[in-house]
Copies of this chain bind each other. A is one copy, B any other.
C-alpha cells in the first residue's frame, strides 16, 4: 500500500550510537511496510565484521561521558539484533560495498551472516527509488 519507494540507508559510520539509530530506522521503516536496503561502507562495514560486530565501537564525540553512560545504561537490544528483527519483519537487505571490501581486504567469510551480499554503488542506485539516507 506504500508507494514512497525503497528506504536506502548508506551505513558509513561505525559508532554504536549511529548504528543503533540506523537499526531503529530500519525496524520502523520495515514495520510501515517499506522496503529497506542497507549499504555498508567504510566504518559501517568494518562494524559488521563477524569478529567485531559485538565489540564496543565507541560513540560520537559529542556524546560526552554522561551521554555515553545514558546510552550504555539503557539495557537496550544490541543494534545487530535490531537489524535481525528488521529482516524478520519485512523486506530488509544488507549489502557490503565492494570498494570498501577491497579497502579493508575483506571477503564474504569475514562478514556477519546477516549481510546478504556485495554490491557496487551502481547497483545500489539502481534500486534507490526513494529516500537515500547517509548515516
Binding site for B on A (CB under 8 A): 4-5, 7-8, 10, 12-15, 17-18, 21, 24-25, 27-29, 31-32, 34, 41-43, 46, 57-58, 60-63, 67, 70-71, 74, 76, 99, 102-105, 120-122, 124-126, 128-135
B62–A104 CB distance below 8 A? no
Chain B residue nearest to A132 in the complex (CB)? B131
Q: Which residues of B contact A135 (CB under 8 A)?
A: 12, 134
**Which residue from B70, B125, B133 sits with its C-beta under 8 Å from A29?**
B125
Which of the residues B103, B122, B131 comes within 8 Å of A74, measured between beta carbons?
Answer: B103
Question: Quick one: given A60-B43, A62-B57, A134-B134, are A28 and B71 in contact (CB under 8 Å)?
Answer: no
- Decide if B60 touches A13 in the complex (CB within 8 Å): yes
Copies in the complex: 3
- Closest chain B CB from A13 CB (angstroms): 7
- The residue on B at minimum CB distance from A30 is B125
Q: A4-B5, A103-B74, A128-B131 are known contacts. Are A120 and B58 too (CB-CB below 8 A)?
A: no
Q: How far is the CA of A102 from the CA of B74 in the complex (A)?
A: 8
On chain B, the residues within 8 Å of A99 by CB distance are 24, 76
